Structure 1
Amino acid sequence: MSTKFFRLSFVLILFHMFSYGQSEDMVRIKGARYVPLYGRDSTVVEVKDFDLDVYPVTNEQFLNFVKKFPQWQKSKVKKLFADGMYLRNWKNDLELNDGEKLNSAATYISWFAAKAYCDCLGKRLPTMDEWEYAAMADEKDRDARIKKSYNEQILAWYEAPRTNEYEVGRNPKNFWGVYDLHGLVWEWTSDFNSVLISGETRKDNEKDNLFCGSASLGATDLMNYAAFMRYALRGSIKANFAIKNLGFRCAKDIEIP
Structure 2
Amino acid sequence: MIFSLLTMTLTLAEPPKMVALPAGNYRPLYMNKNSPQTFVGAFSIDVMPVTNAQYLTFVINNPRWQSQQIPSIFAEAQYLQHWQQNLTPKQPSQGQLNSPVVNVSWFAAQAYCHSLNKSLPTVAQWERVASASPTQPNGSLEKSYNQRILQWYSRPSSKQLPEVGTNPANYWGAQDLHGLIWEWTEDFNSALVSGESRGDSDINQKLFCAAGAQGAADPSDYAAFMRFGFRSSLQAKYTLPNLGFRCAKSKE
Query: Where on the TM-score scale, by shorter chain, does this alignment land: which range?
Result: 0.7 to 0.9
The aligned counterpart of 1:187 is 183
- State how far apart, in whole Å, the 1-side matches of 2:21 and 2:46 are: 10
Q: In structure 1, how many angstroms separate the alpha carbons of the residues matched to 2:22 and 2:137?
A: 10
What is the Cα deviation at residue 46 of structure 1? 0.8
Superposed displacement of residue 205, structure 1: 3.0
Asked if residue 223 in structure 1 is aligned to residue 220 in structure 2, the reply is: yes
Letter of the 2:108 counterpart:
A
- 1:1-257 pair list within 5 angstroms: 21-23=13-15, 25-40=17-32, 41-92=34-85, 93-96=88-91, 98=93, 100-162=95-157, 165-196=161-192, 205-207=199-201, 208-209=204-205, 210-212=207-209, 215-255=212-252
* Residue aligned with 1:27, SS: strand
Counterpart for residue 4 of structure 1: none
Identical counterparts, % of pairs: 44
* Structure 2: segments with no counterpart, 5+ residues: 1-9
Aligned equivalents of 1:213 and 1:157: distance in 2?
A: 21
The residue matched to 2:44 in structure 1 has which SS? strand
* Counterpart residue identity of residue 241, structure 2: K
Deviation by residue 1:130-182 (Cα, 9 ceiling, x = unmatched): 10010000001001113221011111222333356000001000000000000
Amino acid at match of 1:148: K
CA distance in 1, matches of 2:12, 2:25: 34
Instruction: Give the TM-score, by structure 1 length.
Output: 0.83
Q: Structure 1 unaligned runs (5+)?
A: 1-17, 198-203
Distance in 1 (alpha carbons) for counterparts of 2:23 and 2:215: 23
Contact preservation (8 Å) 2:67, 2:90: no
Query: Cα 1:63–1:144, aligned 2, differ >3 Å: closer, same or farther?
Result: same
Count of aligned residue pairs for this structure pair: 232
CA distance in 2, matches of 1:245, 1:153: 18
- Range 153-162 or range 229-238, more displaced: 153-162
Q: What secondary structure is seen at the aligned counterpart in 1 of 2:232?
A: helix
**Cα distance, 1:97 vs. partner?**
5.5
Cα distance, 1:42 vs structure 2: 2.2
RMSD: 2.3
Deviation at 1:36, TM superposition (A): 2.8
What is the TM-score of this pair, normalised by structure 2?
0.84
What secondary structure is seen at the aligned counterpart in 1 of 2:20?
A: strand
More deviation, 225-234/29-38: 29-38
